[in-house]
Structure formats: C-alpha cells, structure tokens
Amino acid sequence: MSILMDVTKIQQFIPHRYPFLFVDKVLSIAENEIVAIKNVSINEPFFQGHFPGAPVMPGVLIVEALAQAAGVFMGYHLEQQGQSMDDKLMFFMSIDQVKFRQVVAPGDQIVLQVNLVQKRGSIAKFEAKAKVDDKVATEASFMAMLSDKVS
C-alpha cells in the first residue's frame, strides 16, 4: 500500500519535534517497508558547530532519522490495527553494522529506506539505508522496542 504522509501526520506517530524531528515526509509504507524523506537545510542547528565552514550532517543524526522513520512505520501499522502510539514510545535496543559511506551536506535530500526484518511482540528488527542521489550515504541494522510511556 502506497501513501503520502506530511509532517503533520508524521507528528501523530512519533513524539519528536523541532529541532529533533528528522522525517519531513513519507513517500510510501508497505507491509514491511517505509520510504521517507529528510530535507537537509543549512538552517539545521547542528551545522553551527559541525563543522564551521564545512557543514556535514552528523552520522548519528542520519541513524536517528532512520530510527524515526521506523517509529512512523510502527505507529502507522498500530493505527491500522486500531491501536495508537499515544501512550507508547519506541526505543533503540541495539545498532549494528553501521557504515557511513558519503558525506551528507546542506541542500541534500536523504531518502530513508527502512525494512522490517523481524517482529516479535513489542520488539522489531530493521535494516535501513539512507541514500542521497541514489547513492548509499549510511546503512545500519537496528533493533527497537515499543514501550509504554513512563510518566
């Protein structure tokens, strides 16, 4: 099933907000995959210090963008089952096989491709790639857990 989701809808599935929301739009969600976009702007606050005169998006924030796309994926599928992310958060459990293959800079558009590999109960395993101009910039495998919010 292919859909288009804007940032307003994305914010219904994950709690992240400016300056820590790294998914701008969802191009498609299928049974085991989400494809989303992160537009990289020079106005990102991290560029002030990473690196002055040679702005580079921190790799850990690219991995965070992939994880946020996975969170949107999980939230969407919960909604399809009549449930909600309102009382849940998704947390990293492990991150493996991370590779940074090219620099991401202001003006780039990152295509976030996240595939669900396995799901057991509240734990899910994902394989993910972040691409710029059809070239892999970052790839990783990670596990995440849906958990009830702690108040």
Which of these is catalytic: 11, 32, 33, 50?
50
Q: Cα–Cα distance between 69 and 112 in angstroms, integer?
A: 7
Q: Whole-prediction pTM value?
A: 0.95
Annotated active-site residue 16? The verdict is no
Taken in order of first residue, the domains within the chain and their CATH numbers are 7-148 (3.10.129.10)
Residues 95-113 pLDDT 10s: 999 999 999 999 999 999 9
Q: Is the peptide bond before 55 cis (omega within 30 degrees of 0)?
A: no
Residue 106, judged by CB atoms within 10 A of its CB (0-12, 13-18, 19+), counts as: middle
Q: Cα–Cα distance between 96 and 6 in angstroms, integer?
A: 29
Q: Cα–Cα distance between 125 and 134 in angstroms, integer?
A: 24
Give the confidence band of 37 by pLDDT, cuts at 50, 70, 90. very high
pLDDT at 10: 97
